Amino acid sequence: VKHLEFYDLNNFGDEDLEMIPSFIESLKFYKCESITSEGFKNLSSSLKVLKIDYCSNVTREVIQYLPHTLTELNISNWIFDKQYI
């Protein structure tokens, strides 16, 4: 398994992100309301693809926590300001 998707999990929070195995290369979160931007600081450095859809507690601050290994990033619940592009 290299790809995980989490859908509509209100009880899946930042502490759960730490438990994602390091061999996972692709993650998708959809409507996971308990995840915050800071929770992403512990993602594996092997992560290549990250999709965050409608997780209302994930803000622009998430950018500083993302691994540099990402080749694809899709965040659909907010729009980047020009300073982030």
Burial class (CB in 10 A: 0-12, 13-18, 19+), 62: buried
Please give the pLDDT value at position 77: 63
Mean local confidence (pLDDT), 24-53:
93
Give the pTM.
0.84
Q: Where does the pLDDT of residue 36 fall: very low under 50, low under 70, confident under 90, or very high at 90 and above?
A: very high
Contact by Cβ (8 Å): 56, 30: no
